[in-house]
Structure 1
Amino acid sequence: MACWMYEGLLMFGVVFIAGYLFSTLSQTRNALDNRHALQAFVFVIFGIYFVWFWAKGQTLAMKTWHIRVVDVHGAPITQQRALLRYALSWMWFLPPLGVSWLLDLPATKGAVLTLGWVAIWAILARFHPQRQFWHDAWAGTRLVTWITPAKTKRPAPGKTLVSRSS
C-alpha cells in the first residue's frame, strides 16, 4: 500500500502535465468547462502511463519499492495483459464512485465511501489463496519482490583480472 500511495504522489505530476496540455490544446479557461472531456483525457493518459511501464515490468514507484508485475508464470506481461490489468484496477474506485453518483452523495460522503471501499478492497486480498489483489488474479498478473541484479564489472578489453593470494 505504501507503493500505491507513492504512485499517487507521482501521478499528481502526470495529472498536472496532462491537465495543462488539455487546457492548452482545447483553449479551456475554466476548470469546470470540458470537465468530462478532461476526465476522459486523463483516463487515457493514465492508461498509457501504466500500460507502458507495466509492460516493461515496473512503474517508477514500483522500482522504489522493489516490486515488479509479472504474469502467473513469472514472465514479463504483454501490453494487452497490462491494458487488462489497467481496466480491472479501476475496481479500486469505480464501485464507490458509481454509488456516489447514483445516490447523488455530497463530495465529503463520496470521499469517505471511496476511502472505505479502498480499505475493504485491500483487505479482500487476504481472502485470495495467494494473498494477491483480485484485479491481479483476474488479469492473470502478480506482484513480486524484485531487486535489480547488481552489475558485475568487466575488465577493459585486452586486460585480465589477476587475483593475488598471500
Structure 2
Amino acid sequence: MACWLYEGILMFGVVFIAGYLFGTLSQTRNALDNRHPLQAFLFVVFGIYFVWFWAKGQTLAMKTWHIRVVDSAGQPLTQLRALGRYVLAWLWFLPPLVVLAPFGLPASEIVVILVGWVVFWALASRLHPQRQFWHDALAGTRLVNSQPRAQ
C-alpha cells in the first residue's frame, strides 16, 4: 500500500502535465468547463502510463519499493495483459462511484464512502489464497519482490 500511495504522489505530476496540455489544446478557461472530456483524457493518459510501465515490469514507484508485476507464469506482461490489469484496477474506485452517482451526495460523504471501499477492497486480498489483490487475480498477474541480490 505504501507503493500505491507513492504512485499517487507521482501521478500528481502526470495529472499536472496532462491537465495543462489538455487545457492549452482545448483553450479551457474555467476548470469546470470540459470536465468530462478532461476526465476521459486523463483516463487515457493514466492507461498509457500504466500499460507502458507495467509492460516493462515496473512503474517508477514500484522500482523504489522493489516490486515487479508479472503474469501468473512469472513472465513480463504483454501490453494486452497490462491493459486488462489497468481496466480491472479501476475496481478500486469505480463501484462506489457508480453506485453513488445518482444520489448527488456532498463530496465529503463520497470521499468517506470511497475510502471505506478502498480499505474493504485492500482487506479483501486477505481472502485470496495467495493473498493477492483481486484485480491481479482476475487479470492473471501478480506482484513479486524484485529486491537486488546481494553480491
Q: TM-score when scaled to structure 1?
A: 0.89
Stretches of structure 1 that go unaligned for 5 or more consecutive residues are 153-166
Find the aligned partners of 1:148 and 1:44 in 2 and give their Cα distance: 33
Deviation beyond 3 Å, 4+ runs, structure 1: none
Stretches of structure 2 that go unaligned for 5 or more consecutive residues are none
Pairwise CA distance, 1:147: 2.0
In the other structure, the counterpart of 1:120 is 120
Find the aligned partners of 1:49 and 1:43 in 2 and give their Cα distance: 10
Find the aligned partners of 2:9 and 2:76 in 1 and give their Cα distance: 25
Aligned to 1:61, what secondary structure does the other structure show? Answer: helix
Query: Residue type of the partner of 2:107?
Result: A
By relative contact order (CA 8 Å, sep 6+), the higher-ranking structure is 2
Identity over aligned pairs, percent: 73
Task: Choose 140-149 or 48-57, whichever is displaced more.
Answer: 140-149
Pairwise CA distance, 1:149: 5.1
Larger Rg: 1
In the other structure, the counterpart of 1:74 is 74
Q: CA RMSD in A?
A: 1.1
Find the aligned partners of 2:148 and 2:135 in 1 and give their Cα distance: 26
Q: How many residues of Structure 1 are paired with residues of Structure 2 in the alignment? A: 151
Which structure is higher in helix share? 2
Aligned to 1:69, what secondary structure does the other structure show? Answer: strand
Q: TM-score when scaled to structure 2?
A: 0.97
Find the aligned partners of 1:105 and 1:70 in 2 and give their Cα distance: 39
In the other structure, the counterpart of 1:60 is 60
